[in-house]
Structure 1
């Protein structure tokens, strides 16, 4: 099934804005051809020398809400937002200025601050100042569209448009806006991958298909109308148009529809709809069912029989709890009873049932009260869908979101979460913990000489070896590249962490065997202890990182403790 085009996916696939740092050589030729910037305003110019702004045009002053006299003489760090730019970022900018003053042309994105506190992103080009005395750098600054503009566009597109908009690939939904879900009653994830014609009333499907084909071929311009069956079994009149588009380099169909039910139906049509209601249900893909006031199945369609796995004669008068897994019976009964007592619709999002053949399936079922002529509740009706495969897919996606695809180790997100939890526990129980930063020595040479495939296999081997050196409750995570972080959430004393550090460094004395080749690689390790070296998340990670670099500076293949580094 095609993934749901959520807000993030829409920005990624429908409204792509690609941001890359572009570094130019001394001849000004791009080294990265993928950078794309959406321009808003013309460029403005600054002249920099060392830490100071020594020249500016009037437009540049206006950019920052200053007069030209106010801008000239300032440190360029004054026009950076302090909450976003720390020492590391300022040092990074200094290095870029130095490279530009030595003849290199650089192009990149940066964040600036106006005098009134407003913040904006801009494309910056740094190049030599061509001043006889040298040491000057020209800066061209051009404001750009922020990535959040696509977020704002999505909000307008998805929530304010009066039309339902969708994209079809081979007749199946790959994108729907909230208006579609609002009209049909199905959630977006229930529609994605579903054939569009399955929503259409069986009597209208053929004429709807033909009308769509005519419009796609340019033989029809007038919208066409048809009926759909909503998730609750109701009928809605839809007016629709479609056009062919190219999306992700494939021919797709972009459609929009408007609910025109109120214009098509009057009171005299309601009775006719109810008479045909049950026959329609036999043609929909989802299961439709009705329970009497006691909870026994009183009506169901063929799809319901297929989902539950019971023959018609056995399901008739069968109580819903009979096929409910024993672990879910109490919660399921509570929700059903609540619908009957309150008269309010509800939902069983994860109804675990046991089919006739013994297999367990996860069911998503709606619960809507049925009222008799006297207005009293006489039972429950609803739509059910087997979501077992979807649930498995969601579990897989969740796993992938928190684990590194190459090594299977926890990724940065999961490591950060575990470190925060460990810090809270350490504060509460007043015990120590250790954070370690590990970086392979000369890993780039292996990649360059033996290829990335060998490098990837080496990283997998390193991940396995590190995992084997830790206790069950410890964590090793790949942070990216050849950088790993380790968390020992509970240690009694500093020496406990150093013992582990020694074992890890010593473990690299054994070679790695990849494709019958013997590879030897060493590592540098930095260690920070809570609370000795810091009491918060950022401080511990930063000090472990600094200690790791100190280990590299002392000859690599070594570990360094923050306190020892500071003492030296």
Structure 2
């Protein structure tokens, strides 16, 4: 996998660091040779003068060669007596056959200065390279180890870098990612049926993180947190983008679980009171617009307390789950069943055509509730009292309909009947089904 992309600082121009010391040395070499040719006509003298400069070029490569700088300086000034002995001329003549000219002294000082500049540039370059290496290594290690998928592209939208987590999330090898257009590798959807996103540069603005679904070949879709940001060069021009993906499946599972707890009954899996109220408001609005009837059936189990007392709460839970399963079967399409708490349930019946619809549903509900439940060798039976309230006859809002249905249910329970409609006489729904005398439990 390629190294993580890095940008060179604006003050670290590679061509300056590489060629400036050499240019200085060549310049001094040319000047020195020219002066020696004009003054003495001796090309070899000019070459000898710049030997320290040639040695000092080593200093640029590595800090371990810095001591050579001092060797070059020593050699530089050691040439003074050699040159003075050879040419023996100039105003600083010490004795016959030995002397130094102003040119010789200035030449040595100039070479010493160039050596110093070379060393400083070498140290500066070394410092910059070490800093860049440390930053690059830190970035590479971080990107290789983080749990987020990081992908960078060039200006054409082709992948330049992808860390191991990106390969894992996308379900592709690293060599399948680098060099290919991001639009061919990445398909993100906000929801089912939405157009895929990906592959386009973000332009002049950052794109904040959002949760989307990542489509992967041969793998299930994965919820991810997705964010993008532009990459710019030293001139400020857009040169690519960075894409970050984070696996959000664990959070989505947690969110789904919390949603289930908020809107579902934990024991039976039915809707809870909150869901019932929300659905009731929606169905009331529909009933008002289309002038249809709506019913709320309040259900309270009879004989449930005796089951709990005689067989324990585990048996009671088994009965509640059995009742919930039976109610699901008895529902029409579009009906909503909710557990309100304890042994109380409510059934929302939208789009009722007439009273016969209500009685048919109530009869199915009662039959489902009265089905025997086997628990640890015992056969458990419960029945129910039902109270019905209708819209628009008995109430205009959800809370009023629930209160009316609850009151009707208590009338049915007090009179030992199965169903009571608000304002009407209680009815025994299963009389025509040849109900046996011991079929119903004593109401509690």
Q: 1:279 to 1:417 in 2, by over 3 A?
A: same
> Structure 1 pair 330/362, CA: closer, same or farther in 2 (3 Å)?
same
Separation in structure 1 between the aligned mates of residue 306 and residue 213 of structure 2, nearest angstrom? 54
Are 2:189 and 2:197, in contact at CA under 8 Å, matched by a contact in 1? no
- Structure 1 counterpart of 2:185, from 314, 320, 323: 323
User: Which structure: greater strand fraction?
Assistant: 1
Aligned match of 2:222: 361
Q: Tell me how far apart the structure 1 counterparts of residues 383 and 213 of structure 2 sit (CA, whole Å).
A: 52
Deviation, structure 1 residue 401: 2.5
Report the CA distance between 1:295 and its aligned residue.
2.0
Question: Cα distance, 1:508 vs. partner?
Answer: 4.5
Matches within 5 A, 1:179-194: none
Deviation at 1:502, TM superposition (A): 3.1
Which of 427, 443, 449 does residue 310 from structure 2 map onto? Answer: 449
Match of 1:418 in 2: 279
**2:197 corresponds to:** 332
CA–CA distance in structure 2, aligned partners of residues 376 and 279 of structure 1:
28
In the alignment, what sits opposite 2:381? 520
1:241-292 CA deviation, whole Å, 9 max, x = no partner?
Answer: xxxxxxxxxxxxxxxxxxxxxxxxxxxx997885443343223232222122
- In the TM superposition, 1:272-421 aligns within 5 A as 274-275=135-136, 276-325=138-187, 330-333=195-198, 337=200, 340-355=202-217, 358-421=219-282
Show the 5 A alignment for 1:70-89: none
Greater per-residue helix proportion: 2
Q: Which residue of 2 aligns with 1:481?
A: 342
1:24-72 CA distance string (max 9 Å, x none): xxxxxxxxxxxxxxxxxxxxxxxxxxxxxxxxxxxxxxxxxxxxxxxxx
Cα separation, 1, equivalents of 2:160 and 2:236:
19
Distance 1:515 1:398 in 2: 33
Instruction: Report the Cα distance in structure 2 between the residues aligned to 1:313 and 1:382, rounded to whole angstroms.
Output: 18
Whole-angstrom distance in 1 between the partners of 2:245 and 2:207? 14
Structure 2, unpaired ranges of 5+: 1-129, 427-444
Q: Secondary structure at the match of 1:489?
A: strand
SS at match of 1:332: coil
Question: Take 2:420 and 2:261, find their aligned partners in 1: how far apart are those partners?
Answer: 33
2:359 to 491, 498, 515: 498
| Cα gap change, 1:320 to 1:399, in 2 (>3 Å) | farther
Q: Distance in 2 between matches of 1:492 and 1:307?
A: 53
CA contact (8 A) 2:171 2:219 kept: no
Structure 1 residue 389: Cα displacement:
3.8
Matching residue of 2:113: none
Give the whole-Å Cα distance in 2 for the aligned partners of 1:349 and 1:509: 47
Structure 2 Cα separation of the partners of residues 462 and 323 of structure 1 = 50
- Which entry has the higher C-alpha Rg, 1 or 2? 2
**TM score, norm. by length of structure 2:** 0.61
Mapped contact 2:327–2:369 kept (Cα < 8 A):
no
Q: Please show how residues 238-277 of structure 1 align to structure 2 within 5 Å.
A: 274-275=135-136, 276-277=138-139
Tell me, in whole angstroms, the C-alpha distance in 1 between the residues paired with 2:414 and 2:143: 73
Q: 1:540 to 1:270 in 2, by over 3 A?
A: farther
Task: Find the aligned partners of 1:493 and 1:371 in 2 and give their Cα distance.
Answer: 70
CA distance in 1, matches of 2:384, 2:259: 31
Check whether the contact 2:148–2:245 (CA below 8 A) recurs between aligned residues: yes
Unaligned runs of 5+ in 1: 1-268
Question: Post-superposition shift, 1:349?
Answer: 1.9
- After superposition, the Cα gap between the structure-2 partners of 1:461 and 1:351, relative to the gap in structure 1 and judged at 3 Å, is closer
Q: Which residue of 2 aligns with 1:547?
A: 408
Higher relative contact order (CA 8 A, sep 6+): 2
TM-score, scaled relative to structure 1: 0.48
2:302–2:382 CA contact under 8 A, matched in 1 = yes
Are the counterparts in 2 of residues 353 and 362 from structure 1 also a CA contact under 8 Å?
no
Structure 1 residue 500 displacement after superposition:
1.8
Is the 8 Å Cα contact of residues 297 and 319 (structure 1) preserved in structure 2?
yes
Partner-residue secondary structure (3-state), 1:395:
helix
Matches of 1:456 and 1:397 in 2, distance apart? 22
| Residue deviations 1:71-101 (CA, integer Å, cap 9, x gap) | xxxxxxxxxxxxxxxxxxxxxxxxxxxxxxx
Q: How big is each residue's C-alpha offset from its partner over 1:6-40, in whole Å with a ceiling of 9 and x where there is no partner? A: xxxxxxxxxxxxxxxxxxxxxxxxxxxxxxxxxxx
Distance in 1 separating the partners of 2:324 and 2:277: 18
The alpha carbon displacement at 1:319 in A equals: 2.0
CA RMSD of aligned residues (A): 2.6
Distance 1:316 1:521 in 2: 67
